[in-house]
Amino acid sequence: MIVRPRPHLLELFFIIKGSIVLRIMPLLVFVATLSTAVVTVYTFKPGWLPKFDGGPFALLGITLSIFLAFRNNACYERWWEARKIWGEFMLTARNLARLSQILDHLDGSLSPSRRQLLEYNIAYAHALLLQLRPGDQLPKITRLLPAEIASAFTQSKNPPEIILRAMERILIEALRDGRIQPIQFNLLEELIQKLALTQAACERIQNTPIPFGYTLLLHRTAYTFCFLMPFGFANTLGWATPFVTALAAYTLFGLDALGNELEEPFAPIANALPINALTDLIEIELREALGDEALPASPVPKDFVLM
Protein backbone atom coordinates (compact mmCIF):
# COMPACT_ATOMS: atom_id res chain seq x y z
CA MET A 1 0.00 0.00 0.00
CA ILE A 2 1.28 3.45 -0.89
CA VAL A 3 1.85 5.55 2.24
CA ARG A 4 3.01 9.08 1.54
CA PRO A 5 1.95 12.70 2.16
CA ARG A 6 -0.42 14.22 -0.34
CA PRO A 7 1.77 15.64 -3.13
CA HIS A 8 1.77 19.26 -4.19
CA LEU A 9 0.48 20.35 -7.58
CA LEU A 10 3.83 20.19 -9.37
CA GLU A 11 4.75 16.87 -7.72
CA LEU A 12 1.65 15.23 -9.21
CA PHE A 13 3.25 15.29 -12.65
CA PHE A 14 6.56 13.76 -11.62
CA ILE A 15 5.67 11.05 -9.07
CA ILE A 16 6.57 7.58 -10.32
CA LYS A 17 6.43 5.45 -7.15
CA GLY A 18 2.92 4.11 -6.81
CA SER A 19 1.94 5.18 -10.29
CA ILE A 20 0.98 2.67 -12.97
CA VAL A 21 2.57 4.78 -15.70
CA LEU A 22 5.62 2.48 -15.99
CA ARG A 23 3.38 -0.53 -16.59
CA ILE A 24 1.47 1.10 -19.42
CA MET A 25 4.33 3.17 -20.89
CA PRO A 26 4.90 0.79 -23.86
CA LEU A 27 1.23 1.10 -24.79
CA LEU A 28 1.35 4.89 -24.53
CA VAL A 29 4.43 5.05 -26.72
CA PHE A 30 2.76 2.79 -29.28
CA VAL A 31 -0.43 4.92 -29.37
CA ALA A 32 1.57 8.16 -29.68
CA THR A 33 3.76 6.67 -32.43
CA LEU A 34 0.73 5.37 -34.30
CA SER A 35 -0.94 8.77 -34.00
CA THR A 36 2.14 10.51 -35.35
CA ALA A 37 2.27 8.15 -38.32
CA VAL A 38 -1.43 8.67 -39.08
CA VAL A 39 -1.15 12.46 -38.89
CA THR A 40 1.92 12.36 -41.14
CA VAL A 41 0.00 10.40 -43.76
CA TYR A 42 -3.02 12.71 -43.53
CA THR A 43 -0.75 15.74 -43.89
CA PHE A 44 1.57 14.70 -46.70
CA LYS A 45 -0.40 11.94 -48.44
CA PRO A 46 -4.04 12.82 -47.77
CA GLY A 47 -5.35 10.36 -50.35
CA TRP A 48 -3.75 7.30 -48.80
CA LEU A 49 -6.18 6.97 -45.89
CA PRO A 50 -9.95 7.58 -45.77
CA LYS A 51 -11.21 10.30 -43.46
CA PHE A 52 -13.31 9.38 -40.44
CA ASP A 53 -15.69 11.40 -38.31
CA GLY A 54 -14.64 11.67 -34.66
CA GLY A 55 -18.22 11.75 -33.34
CA PRO A 56 -18.68 7.97 -33.00
CA PHE A 57 -15.32 7.70 -31.22
CA ALA A 58 -16.40 10.29 -28.65
CA LEU A 59 -19.62 8.36 -28.00
CA LEU A 60 -17.73 5.09 -27.68
CA GLY A 61 -15.27 6.74 -25.30
CA ILE A 62 -18.07 7.80 -22.97
CA THR A 63 -19.50 4.27 -22.97
CA LEU A 64 -16.09 2.76 -22.34
CA SER A 65 -15.39 5.11 -19.43
CA ILE A 66 -18.66 4.09 -17.75
CA PHE A 67 -17.78 0.43 -18.29
CA LEU A 68 -14.35 1.00 -16.74
CA ALA A 69 -15.92 2.73 -13.75
CA PHE A 70 -18.14 -0.28 -13.07
CA ARG A 71 -15.20 -2.67 -13.22
CA ASN A 72 -12.97 -0.50 -11.04
CA ASN A 73 -15.74 -0.22 -8.46
CA ALA A 74 -15.99 -4.02 -8.39
CA CYS A 75 -12.20 -4.34 -7.99
CA TYR A 76 -12.10 -1.73 -5.22
CA GLU A 77 -14.92 -3.51 -3.43
CA ARG A 78 -12.74 -6.66 -3.31
CA TRP A 79 -9.82 -4.60 -1.97
CA TRP A 80 -11.95 -2.91 0.68
CA GLU A 81 -13.63 -6.16 1.75
CA ALA A 82 -10.21 -7.74 2.23
CA ARG A 83 -9.15 -4.78 4.37
CA LYS A 84 -12.26 -5.14 6.55
CA ILE A 85 -11.56 -8.85 6.98
CA TRP A 86 -8.04 -8.17 8.22
CA GLY A 87 -9.33 -5.43 10.48
CA GLU A 88 -11.70 -7.94 12.08
CA PHE A 89 -8.80 -10.39 12.28
CA MET A 90 -6.80 -7.92 14.34
CA LEU A 91 -9.82 -7.25 16.56
CA THR A 92 -10.31 -10.97 17.18
CA ALA A 93 -6.64 -11.38 18.14
CA ARG A 94 -6.91 -8.50 20.61
CA ASN A 95 -10.10 -9.91 22.10
CA LEU A 96 -8.46 -13.30 22.49
CA ALA A 97 -5.48 -11.72 24.22
CA ARG A 98 -7.78 -10.02 26.76
CA LEU A 99 -10.25 -12.83 27.32
CA SER A 100 -7.55 -15.51 27.60
CA GLN A 101 -6.53 -13.98 30.94
CA ILE A 102 -9.04 -16.38 32.51
CA LEU A 103 -6.44 -19.09 31.81
CA ASP A 104 -3.87 -17.36 34.07
CA HIS A 105 -3.10 -18.47 37.61
CA LEU A 106 -5.14 -17.16 40.52
CA ASP A 107 -2.30 -14.86 41.54
CA GLY A 108 -2.45 -13.23 38.11
CA SER A 109 0.77 -14.73 36.80
CA LEU A 110 0.94 -15.90 33.22
CA SER A 111 0.01 -19.54 32.71
CA PRO A 112 1.80 -21.80 30.19
CA SER A 113 -1.50 -22.58 28.47
CA ARG A 114 -2.23 -18.88 27.84
CA ARG A 115 1.25 -18.26 26.49
CA GLN A 116 0.91 -21.24 24.21
CA LEU A 117 -2.53 -20.13 23.04
CA LEU A 118 -1.36 -16.63 22.09
CA GLU A 119 1.84 -17.89 20.50
CA TYR A 120 -0.32 -20.20 18.39
CA ASN A 121 -2.36 -17.16 17.42
CA ILE A 122 0.83 -15.43 16.27
CA ALA A 123 1.78 -18.54 14.31
CA TYR A 124 -1.69 -18.62 12.78
CA ALA A 125 -1.35 -15.02 11.58
CA HIS A 126 1.95 -15.83 9.87
CA ALA A 127 0.46 -19.05 8.45
CA LEU A 128 -2.42 -17.12 6.92
CA LEU A 129 0.05 -14.61 5.49
CA LEU A 130 2.09 -17.50 4.05
CA GLN A 131 -1.01 -18.85 2.35
CA LEU A 132 -2.04 -15.51 0.87
CA ARG A 133 1.40 -14.09 0.06
CA PRO A 134 4.10 -16.80 0.10
CA GLY A 135 7.41 -15.65 1.52
CA ASP A 136 9.89 -16.45 4.29
CA GLN A 137 7.33 -16.89 7.09
CA LEU A 138 7.83 -20.65 7.61
CA PRO A 139 10.77 -20.38 10.07
CA LYS A 140 8.77 -17.88 12.16
CA ILE A 141 5.88 -20.32 12.30
CA THR A 142 7.79 -23.48 13.15
CA ARG A 143 9.66 -21.72 15.98
CA LEU A 144 6.34 -21.13 17.71
CA LEU A 145 5.05 -24.69 17.35
CA PRO A 146 6.02 -27.97 19.06
CA ALA A 147 7.80 -30.48 16.84
CA GLU A 148 4.79 -32.70 16.24
CA ILE A 149 2.52 -29.78 15.33
CA ALA A 150 5.22 -28.22 13.15
CA SER A 151 5.59 -31.51 11.29
CA ALA A 152 1.84 -31.76 10.74
CA PHE A 153 1.80 -28.13 9.65
CA THR A 154 4.39 -28.62 6.91
CA GLN A 155 2.64 -31.74 5.58
CA SER A 156 -0.94 -30.49 5.68
CA LYS A 157 -2.98 -29.37 2.67
CA ASN A 158 -4.50 -26.70 4.94
CA PRO A 159 -1.68 -25.63 7.30
CA PRO A 160 -3.54 -22.84 9.20
CA GLU A 161 -6.21 -25.36 10.23
CA ILE A 162 -3.54 -27.41 12.06
CA ILE A 163 -2.83 -24.43 14.31
CA LEU A 164 -6.51 -23.80 14.97
CA ARG A 165 -6.94 -27.42 16.06
CA ALA A 166 -4.02 -27.02 18.46
CA MET A 167 -5.60 -23.86 19.89
CA GLU A 168 -8.91 -25.69 20.29
CA ARG A 169 -7.19 -28.53 22.18
CA ILE A 170 -5.77 -26.06 24.69
CA LEU A 171 -9.29 -24.86 25.50
CA ILE A 172 -10.69 -28.39 25.65
CA GLU A 173 -7.96 -29.48 28.10
CA ALA A 174 -8.58 -26.41 30.25
CA LEU A 175 -12.31 -27.23 30.33
CA ARG A 176 -11.70 -30.87 31.24
CA ASP A 177 -9.27 -29.89 34.01
CA GLY A 178 -11.81 -27.48 35.46
CA ARG A 179 -9.63 -24.41 34.92
CA ILE A 180 -12.40 -22.71 32.95
CA GLN A 181 -16.18 -23.01 33.05
CA PRO A 182 -18.32 -24.01 30.04
CA ILE A 183 -19.47 -20.44 29.44
CA GLN A 184 -15.86 -19.26 29.44
CA PHE A 185 -14.97 -22.06 27.05
CA ASN A 186 -17.76 -20.96 24.71
CA LEU A 187 -16.52 -17.36 24.73
CA LEU A 188 -12.97 -18.38 23.86
CA GLU A 189 -14.11 -20.98 21.34
CA GLU A 190 -16.18 -18.36 19.56
CA LEU A 191 -13.01 -16.35 18.96
CA ILE A 192 -11.32 -19.43 17.49
CA GLN A 193 -14.27 -19.75 15.13
CA LYS A 194 -13.80 -16.13 14.07
CA LEU A 195 -10.17 -16.86 13.25
CA ALA A 196 -11.31 -19.72 11.02
CA LEU A 197 -13.85 -17.41 9.41
CA THR A 198 -11.04 -14.99 8.55
CA GLN A 199 -9.23 -17.69 6.60
CA ALA A 200 -12.40 -18.73 4.77
CA ALA A 201 -13.20 -15.13 3.82
CA CYS A 202 -9.67 -14.50 2.51
CA GLU A 203 -9.78 -17.73 0.50
CA ARG A 204 -13.08 -16.65 -1.03
CA ILE A 205 -11.52 -13.43 -2.31
CA GLN A 206 -8.28 -15.05 -3.41
CA ASN A 207 -9.91 -17.96 -5.26
CA THR A 208 -12.83 -16.10 -6.85
CA PRO A 209 -11.58 -13.53 -9.37
CA ILE A 210 -13.78 -11.22 -11.39
CA PRO A 211 -15.27 -13.31 -14.25
CA PHE A 212 -12.75 -13.60 -17.06
CA GLY A 213 -15.28 -12.83 -19.80
CA TYR A 214 -16.06 -9.50 -18.15
CA THR A 215 -12.39 -8.55 -18.04
CA LEU A 216 -11.72 -9.82 -21.56
CA LEU A 217 -14.54 -7.72 -23.01
CA LEU A 218 -13.17 -4.60 -21.35
CA HIS A 219 -9.60 -5.26 -22.52
CA ARG A 220 -10.65 -5.82 -26.11
CA THR A 221 -12.82 -2.71 -26.19
CA ALA A 222 -10.19 -0.46 -24.58
CA TYR A 223 -7.37 -1.64 -26.84
CA THR A 224 -9.49 -1.39 -29.99
CA PHE A 225 -10.68 2.10 -29.08
CA CYS A 226 -7.20 3.44 -28.32
CA PHE A 227 -5.66 1.96 -31.48
CA LEU A 228 -8.42 3.33 -33.72
CA MET A 229 -8.67 6.72 -32.03
CA PRO A 230 -5.88 8.37 -34.10
CA PHE A 231 -7.82 7.67 -37.31
CA GLY A 232 -10.90 9.44 -35.93
CA PHE A 233 -9.20 12.61 -34.71
CA ALA A 234 -6.13 13.09 -36.91
CA ASN A 235 -8.12 14.93 -39.56
CA THR A 236 -9.58 17.28 -36.91
CA LEU A 237 -6.80 17.80 -34.36
CA GLY A 238 -3.83 17.63 -36.67
CA TRP A 239 -0.45 17.49 -34.93
CA ALA A 240 -2.15 17.70 -31.52
CA THR A 241 -3.49 14.18 -32.10
CA PRO A 242 -0.49 12.29 -30.60
CA PHE A 243 -0.76 14.25 -27.35
CA VAL A 244 -4.56 13.93 -27.09
CA THR A 245 -4.64 10.23 -27.93
CA ALA A 246 -1.75 9.47 -25.55
CA LEU A 247 -3.58 11.33 -22.76
CA ALA A 248 -6.80 9.42 -23.46
CA ALA A 249 -4.86 6.13 -23.60
CA TYR A 250 -3.18 6.97 -20.30
CA THR A 251 -6.60 7.36 -18.67
CA LEU A 252 -8.11 4.20 -20.14
CA PHE A 253 -5.08 1.92 -19.86
CA GLY A 254 -4.29 3.36 -16.42
CA LEU A 255 -7.74 2.63 -15.05
CA ASP A 256 -7.55 -0.84 -16.52
CA ALA A 257 -4.13 -1.53 -14.95
CA LEU A 258 -5.19 -0.08 -11.60
CA GLY A 259 -8.27 -2.29 -11.59
CA ASN A 260 -6.05 -5.31 -12.20
CA GLU A 261 -3.99 -4.45 -9.11
CA LEU A 262 -7.00 -3.79 -6.87
CA GLU A 263 -8.54 -7.08 -7.99
CA GLU A 264 -5.69 -8.92 -6.19
CA PRO A 265 -5.55 -7.32 -2.71
CA PHE A 266 -3.12 -9.95 -1.37
CA ALA A 267 -0.59 -9.82 -4.22
CA PRO A 268 2.95 -8.56 -3.44
CA ILE A 269 2.48 -5.27 -5.31
CA ALA A 270 2.55 -1.65 -4.21
CA ASN A 271 -1.21 -1.03 -4.33
CA ALA A 272 -2.16 -4.24 -2.50
CA LEU A 273 -3.00 -4.49 1.19
CA PRO A 274 -0.11 -4.30 3.70
CA ILE A 275 -0.85 -7.73 5.19
CA ASN A 276 2.84 -8.25 6.08
CA ALA A 277 2.68 -5.13 8.24
CA LEU A 278 -0.69 -6.13 9.74
CA THR A 279 0.71 -9.54 10.66
CA ASP A 280 3.68 -7.90 12.37
CA LEU A 281 1.30 -5.63 14.31
CA ILE A 282 -0.67 -8.65 15.50
CA GLU A 283 2.54 -10.29 16.72
CA ILE A 284 3.65 -7.11 18.48
CA GLU A 285 0.34 -6.69 20.31
CA LEU A 286 0.08 -10.34 21.36
CA ARG A 287 3.65 -10.46 22.61
CA GLU A 288 3.02 -7.27 24.54
CA ALA A 289 -0.04 -8.94 26.09
CA LEU A 290 2.21 -11.82 27.12
CA GLY A 291 4.58 -9.40 28.82
CA ASP A 292 7.47 -10.00 26.45
CA GLU A 293 10.03 -7.22 26.43
CA ALA A 294 11.87 -8.07 23.19
CA LEU A 295 9.19 -6.98 20.75
CA PRO A 296 9.59 -7.03 16.96
CA ALA A 297 10.19 -3.69 15.28
CA SER A 298 7.13 -1.81 14.14
CA PRO A 299 6.60 -1.98 10.36
CA VAL A 300 7.59 1.13 8.44
CA PRO A 301 7.14 2.02 4.76
CA LYS A 302 10.09 1.56 2.40
CA ASP A 303 10.15 4.09 -0.44
CA PHE A 304 6.58 5.03 0.53
CA VAL A 305 5.41 1.40 0.18
CA LEU A 306 4.08 -0.57 3.16
CA MET A 307 3.83 -4.27 2.41
Q: CB under 8 Å to 38, separation ≥6 — which residues? A: 49, 230, 231, 234, 241
Q: For residue 108, what pLDDT is reported?
A: 74
Q: For residue 256, what pLDDT is reported?
A: 82
Q: CB under 8 Å to 270, separation ≥6 — which residues? A: 1, 2, 17, 18, 261, 305
Q: Which whole-number Å values give the CA distances from 62 to 67, 225, 242, in the listed order?
A: 9, 11, 20
Cα separation, 181 vs 192, whole angstroms:
17
Cβ(29)–Cβ(249) under 8 Å? no
- How far separated are the first and last CA of the chain, in Å rounded? 6
Cα separation, 299 vs 306, whole angstroms:
8
Cα separation, 117 vs 121, whole angstroms:
6
Domain ranges of the chain: 24-76+212-263, 90-209+272-289
pLDDT tens sequence for the chain (307 residues): 777 667 666 666 666 666 777 788 888 888 888 888 888 887 777 777 666 666 676 777 777 777 777 888 888 899 999 999 999 999 999 999 999 999 888 777 888 999 999 999 999 999 999 999 988 888 889 999 999 999 999 999 999 999 999 999 999 999 998 888 999 999 999 999 999 999 999 999 999 888 887 778 887 888 888 888 887 777 777 888 888 888 888 888 888 888 888 889 998 888 888 999 999 999 999 999 988 888 888 888 787 677 7
Predicted TM-score of the model (pTM):
0.87
Q: For residue 208, what pLDDT is reported?
A: 87
Give the orientation angle of helix 182-207 with respect to helix 112-132, to 10 degrees. Answer: 10
Beta bridge partners of 305: 2, 302
Beta strands in the chain (DSSP E): none
Q: For residue 103, what pLDDT is reported?
A: 87
231-246 per-residue burial string, b: 16 or more CB within 10 A, e: under 16: bbbbbebeeebbebbb
127-151 per-residue burial string, b: 16 or more CB within 10 A, e: under 16: bbbbbbbeeebbebbbebbeeebbe
Cα separation, 34 vs 23, whole angstroms:
19
Cα separation, 274 vs 282, whole angstroms:
13
